[in-house]
Structure 1
């Protein structure tokens, strides 16, 4: 980092991150201001920021979010989320912790099949309605679902974007992720349920009157537009099928989401303006600014310096290397979005594996995946799902502060990373 651009980019990023933490200025203004400063100091330029596939704005993420937000916006008009909210509460007998456990498990399973961002977009509206019906604070439930989405997304190749990057670099298959990471993800979800019982215990207030009212409701009466519901569900099924069949169809998730949103608007009677009004535009702007800021760190070599230092510390010791890779990746992914981090670390990890003579069972790659995926839970901006849920909560007047999220996120990350380290040691070294 001899170039002044590197130091300037680091100062801008640290300053922006500090302002986001302090919450004295809205995070969208900070992200866009930080992106503007990165461009002004020459840490990146317009071509790189807006057109670079590696270090610019990830338009696939932006348009995936926009497409899914539009589909969710149409489904909200049908009463489907009210139906699911009543159904979930009745199945859990209106007991708050049972409701949270049900939503956590559903979120984790859905995140393994879809990507975690799509999952929270679908689950968050249900959660808000459940909490409204039961008179409960929504924040603990939404935060728990974010944790579940990031842990559940660890289990499969398509569950979290970093896994797709790792699979491409390492030549790993969908089944490889299922065999190596799904068992750990299942254990971590059970552990998360126990942590939620302790962390959010003050929120589990049972209101007998509200519970009785909900138990008497008929969920089918919540459906306001059956025809639109059928149209929306058909499109949603097609979109999910497009996500799952990505290895065959070769359509990016963003393309599938936009095609689905366009098809749903075309075949239904909803107004385009009404659908666009449901898009979380501040969240998309925040992502764009964040991508530009992180791109500035990558373009000026700051991320490479950190990654190179990590590689030097690892050397050829596979066990120590995997532990360091997992721990350091978790720490860094809590600060820098895990997608660009993994994109930067993937070639370095490939070189490390070669230096180790191939490294058995792809353990270094699993360590990178676990660190990046689980580390995303550490802070409010550690992963895409976190940012999306914070935006939804703010729009529904249930704001979640940076520290409110992060104080729980640090606990969950620390516990899950320690368990992941024990799993890696036991599976790949302890039995060897």
Structure 2
């Protein structure tokens, strides 16, 4: 028989998971249920239940939203895109690849939704110049490539995608710790996804018109405010990259990255390059509350012993087939769950469970499973509803759901295999 506390934890998990997957309620509202139920069932007192909504990782993401708001308001992101595309000159394939690289790099710092929304007009403008005969293969390559670039780019940094933050919060990782696994994952997954797309679609650029140079009036972009935004952005990134020695010097033992994020918000508002109203508008408050709910759910599963119970079941049933099979199964489960449910919610459900599974296997690094699952949350390429970038390119009317599924299902499996290998050999 299942212990009473474990039964409580499992009941909360299945209720919240069911609501998140079916979206019977808005996923943010469901996240607010977690501290409510945890308090009423006596798992935590009210203060402890709500304390998870003040987790340092939430403030790190708030700082990320503030930097993104400032870059966007001062048109720094658009200037970077135009300058780099202009350097491609008349080389069509180079222009397209640069478009993908810019999208991926911007997505490391700004939400993949905002990145895709910003780069989609650039992609459509490129299509207009090189694809006037409406070759469907060219449409698919450029638009799906844009979505894939935004999704995979978010893997590289801790602030690039909410599942990264959920995973980092569960494992106590800082900005630098995530770079150690995030950057290699991006550097391998990104070219693989674009090459897979190219060889699957086989677009022809032989008879396309040359790309006309994008006109750039630098006076429109370069001013005091845009310069200040760039300076503050690089200060924040430098402090994140060198957080360990700086934190040691300042005698701050934990969560220094979150203090850097708060400092960035302070500098941005004091210099008046962005207003609090701008930050308010650009911040996805639902995601921040979802973080709180997810971290509270992780604490509930740990406190009640439910995660250990599920870990024991998975461990005893799957490990006999080998750790790699378990790892591959975990990645596939996350990828296909994310196709139909929010990737943040999916990470909040699965990361703590697979962390507990990992801790049951003494022969391997206990972080391999949860990190692999966290990365896999950004690799759903099959359905328009899977990620906002998928939905945005589908919304152009130039990409059919059938085409997206046909290409995406193969890429899902390839990414699952690659993530397993990266997690196993890098960690």
Alignment of 1:390-401 (within 5 A): none
CA–CA separation in structure 2 for the residues paired with 1:256 and 1:26: 31
What SS does structure 1 have at the residue aligned with 2:56? helix
Equivalent residue, structure 2, for 1:50: 50
CA–CA separation in structure 2 for the residues paired with 1:183 and 1:2: 42
The counterpart of 1:227, out of the listed 221, 224, 228, is 224
Please report how far the alpha carbon of residue 239 of structure 1 lies from its aligned counterpart in structure 2 after TM superposition: 0.4
What SS does structure 2 have at the residue aligned with 1:265? helix
With normalisation by structure 1, the TM-score equals: 0.67
Equivalent residue, structure 2, for 1:217: 215
Please report how far the alpha carbon of residue 328 of structure 1 lies from its aligned counterpart in structure 2 after TM superposition: 2.1
Equivalent residue, structure 2, for 1:370: 372
The reply on whether 1:17 has 2:20 as its aligned counterpart is yes
Please report how far the alpha carbon of residue 243 of structure 1 lies from its aligned counterpart in structure 2 after TM superposition: 0.9
Matched-pair contact (CA < 8 Å) for 1:62–1:288: yes
Equivalent residue, structure 1, for 2:196: 195
Matched-pair contact (CA < 8 Å) for 2:155–2:375: yes
Deviations 1:150-196 (A, max 9, x none): 55459xxxx94546866979xxx969947xx8666533322111234
Deviations 1:10-63 (A, max 9, x none): 34223312332xxx7544344445665565556665333322xxxx33632322
With normalisation by structure 2, the TM-score equals: 0.67
Please report how far the alpha carbon of residue 207 of structure 1 lies from its aligned counterpart in structure 2 after TM superposition: 9.6
Equivalent residue, structure 2, for 1:306: 310
Equivalent residue, structure 1, for 2:28: 28
CA–CA separation in structure 1 for the residues paired with 2:192 and 2:94: 15
Matched-pair contact (CA < 8 Å) for 1:31–1:290: yes
* Structure 1 residues 313 and 281: CA distance shift in structure 2, 3 A: same
* Structure 1 residues 258 and 139: CA distance shift in structure 2, 3 A: farther
The counterpart of 1:77, out of the listed 61, 73, 77, is 73
* Structure 1 residues 11 and 97: CA distance shift in structure 2, 3 A: farther
The reply on whether 1:245 has 2:242 as its aligned counterpart is yes
Please report how far the alpha carbon of residue 368 of structure 1 lies from its aligned counterpart in structure 2 after TM superposition: 5.0
Equivalent residue, structure 2, for 1:383: none
Equivalent residue, structure 2, for 1:416: 415
Alignment of 1:103-252 (within 5 A): 103-106=99-102, 116=108, 118=110, 120=112, 123-124=115-116, 126-131=118-123, 133-134=125-126, 140=144, 143-152=147-156, 160-161=164-165, 162=167, 177=180, 185-197=186-198, 212=212, 215-223=213-221, 226-250=223-247, 251-252=255-256
Which of 290-299 and 263-272 deviates more?
A: 290-299
The reply on whether 1:277 has 2:277 as its aligned counterpart is no
CA–CA separation in structure 2 for the residues paired with 1:44 and 1:409: 42
Q: Which runs of 5+ in 2 are unaligned?
A: 129-138, 248-254, 339-344
Please report how far the alpha carbon of residue 67 of structure 1 lies from its aligned counterpart in structure 2 after TM superposition: 1.8
CA–CA separation in structure 1 for the residues paired with 2:101 and 2:116: 14
Matched-pair contact (CA < 8 Å) for 2:81–2:99: no
Equivalent residue, structure 2, for 1:264: 268
The reply on whether 1:254 has 2:258 as its aligned counterpart is yes
Q: Which runs of 5+ in 1 are unaligned?
A: 381-385
Equivalent residue, structure 1, for 2:327: 325
CA–CA separation in structure 2 for the residues paired with 1:272 and 1:17: 31
Please report how far the alpha carbon of residue 346 of structure 1 lies from its aligned counterpart in structure 2 after TM superposition: 4.4
CA–CA separation in structure 2 for the residues paired with 1:321 and 1:420: 14
Matched-pair contact (CA < 8 Å) for 1:43–1:299: yes
Please report how far the alpha carbon of residue 230 of structure 1 lies from its aligned counterpart in structure 2 after TM superposition: 0.7
What SS does structure 2 have at the residue aligned with 1:217? coil
Please report how far the alpha carbon of residue 415 of structure 1 lies from its aligned counterpart in structure 2 after TM superposition: 1.2
Deviations 1:262-316 (A, max 9, x none): 112102364433443332333333443444455544444433322222333466x
Aligned length: 382
What SS does structure 1 have at the residue aligned with 2:215? coil
Matched-pair contact (CA < 8 Å) for 1:66–1:279: yes
Aligned-residue CA RMSD (Å) = 5.0
Please report how far the alpha carbon of residue 233 of structure 1 lies from its aligned counterpart in structure 2 after TM superposition: 0.5
Equivalent residue, structure 1, for 2:358: 349
The reply on whether 1:86 has 2:82 as its aligned counterpart is yes
Please report how far the alpha carbon of residue 398 of structure 1 lies from its aligned counterpart in structure 2 after TM superposition: 8.6
